[in-house]
Structure 1
Amino acid sequence: MAPRASSPAPDPVAALPGDLPTRVRALAGRLVEVPGVVAVTLGGSRARGAAAPDSDVDLGLYYRPPLDVPALEALARDVCGPDAQVTAPGAWGPWVDGGAWLQLGGLPLDWIYRDLDRVAAAWRNARAGRFAFAAQVGHPLGFLDAAYAGELALGVLLADPSGEAAALQRETAAYPPALGRALVARLAEARFTVQIAGKAAPRGDTAYVAGCLFRAVGLCAHALHGAAGRWLVNEKGAVAAAGALPGAPAGFAVRAAGVLAALGTGADQLTAAVAATAELVDDVATACG
């Protein structure tokens, strides 16, 4: 059967209000002139076409050290005003890295650093089924290092003079089966985490049980994405996104939210929540095959 012709994907930059499309593209062109910056992408909800009118404009600045931070700050102040500030790499933590929180045309504009060589290394590991959840502020489950590859896969390239980012993006477009299998295998950790939560439930230790069950639910969300071959790059909205996948157990998102929303403080309530989470993990394992 001959493949069907497909319509061109809508341009998410063109969907920005007012004159922002022109300004954002011009800014991307200026950013890659800064020493160290290799490429610029549009990321986040804007790239996925799921943005609200007031959603941030997230620009990924793919760089190779040394990054000329003073030149970046001068550019930020020229475009966004004299109070604009830019961080050095690593200022926001080992994985979120650094960047800037700015304003452009009345909308929040975020610059987010990504070391291109680290992205490539994360991609090589993901293809081999290797990943880790790393401690990072703002990521209570842990930052999935393979998300570096997923961010590039889902982003929209705005400027890439060398073509390096485009070449890597073409590779990451195909979700690695080994990564999917490895994420599904982490359901064993989810089961164990629920079991140890069960030991704390009779003592009324709500805080500990809540932490364990949150982790189990998060691992389930990653496993479902892995089984579906879909990139998951942010904990925010991860449960809802997992519940919307075609292979997810019925009511996954509602059940997960129900468990975490009604833990209570009594032994009976906590024990019931543990049992409900154990059933949810089992259903996810069945759905993942």
Structure 2
Amino acid sequence: MIPTDLPDRLCAVEGVVAVALGGSRARGEQRPDSDWDLGLYYRGELDLPALRAVAATVADTAVALTAPGGWGPWVDGGGWLRIGGVAVDWIYRDLDRVHSAWADCRAGRYEVGVQAGHPLGFYSSAYVGEVAMCQVLADPTGQLTALKEQARDYPPALADALVAGGWEAGFLLAGAAKAAAGGDSGYVAGCLFRAVGVLAQVLHARAGRWLINEKGMIAAAGRLPGAPPRFAQRAQALLGGVGRSPAELAATINAARELVTEVVG
């Protein structure tokens, strides 16, 4: 459990606008061993020395906080802390960039960027989904709360764009079929993972639900209205038994084609 006064102390640091609880704990889907994910929404320059000083007063051991950008172009930066023996992650989010992503979502635009820890790629719409599903812990100026209220309704233009992007799943399987003839299990496995991820995006978009990362995306997609029968079980079976021989790989790809047809036609 995080100290009750920590969110307010973080908001007192220059640059920090709001603090939110994210991840599985914000959604009520956590396991006993789940981390606490704190989103530190900032504008302008962050006072890193002051932020590190706050960390030093609550963390069990010394912690290294990155500057913005320290974890890559999309996750931004932060630090991994242990507070009272519990893992608490501080994750930076540039609120101006989040607002820009929100404008793109409403216009039916999104970007998929390369980011460590995101094998499907980081979908820019995830920035807004994080806000929509977070629990605001401290927000002195009300800026994050206002954006959360706006993001409550999933933008139809974004849904249309993500559904239209479903064509990629079939394209991936066409490429996988060529590699299967040579027994290239690695390439086929990569294509299958991305194809399933694209289908998960399509299903979430159709249902007007935010999808913010790959963890749990298959199970979540399978629970959505409009998902094909046994979507989660079938998708997991594809990824859990890709095969090695050309014949095995071809059979897996054929099963994947059935799933793609049922989702995107």
TM-score, scaled to structure 2: 0.97
Q: Within 2, Cα distance between the matches of 1:220 and 1:109?
A: 32
Aligned match of 2:208: 229
Aligned-pair distance for 1:229? Answer: 0.2
Alignment equivalent of 2:41, drawn from 59, 62, 71: 62
Aligned match of 2:255: 276
Gaps in structure 1 of 5+ consecutive residues: 1-19
Q: Within 2, Cα distance between the matches of 1:81 and 1:214?
A: 38
Where 2:235 maps in the other structure, the secondary structure is helix
- 1:73 is aligned to 2:52: yes
Aligned match of 1:10: none
- 1:93 is aligned to 2:72: yes
Aligned match of 1:180: 159
- 1:247 is aligned to 2:243: no
Aligned match of 1:144: 123
Where 1:109 maps in the other structure, the secondary structure is strand
Gaps in structure 2 of 5+ consecutive residues: none
Aligned-pair distance for 1:71? Answer: 0.8
Letter in 2 for 1:63: Y
- 1:49 is aligned to 2:28: yes
Q: In angstroms, what is the RMSD of aligned CA positions? A: 1.1
Aligned-pair distance for 1:107? Answer: 1.1
Letter in 2 for 1:199: K
CA distances 1:215-259 after superposition (whole Å, capped 9, x unpaired):
110000010000000001011111111011122101111111111
Q: Within 2, Cα distance between the matches of 1:37 and 1:213?
A: 40
Please list every run of at least 4 consecutive aligned residues from structure 1 whose deviation after the TM superposition is greater than 6 angstroms.
none
1:91/1:98 contact within 8 Å kept? yes
1:76/1:85 contact within 8 Å kept? no
The share of aligned pairs that are identical, in percent, is 57
Aligned match of 1:162: 141
2:228/2:263 contact within 8 Å kept? yes
Letter in 2 for 1:129: G
CA distances 1:140-196 after superposition (whole Å, capped 9, x unpaired):
110001100000010011111111111111111111111111111111111111111
Aligned match of 2:173: 194
Aligned-pair distance for 1:82? Answer: 4.9
Where 1:60 maps in the other structure, the secondary structure is strand
Where 2:32 maps in the other structure, the secondary structure is coil
CA distances 1:95-133 after superposition (whole Å, capped 9, x unpaired):
011011001122100100000000000011011110011
CA distances 1:52-80 after superposition (whole Å, capped 9, x unpaired):
22211111000012111111111101111
Letter in 2 for 1:151: E
- 1:257 is aligned to 2:236: yes
- 1:121 is aligned to 2:100: yes
Letter in 1 for 2:160: R
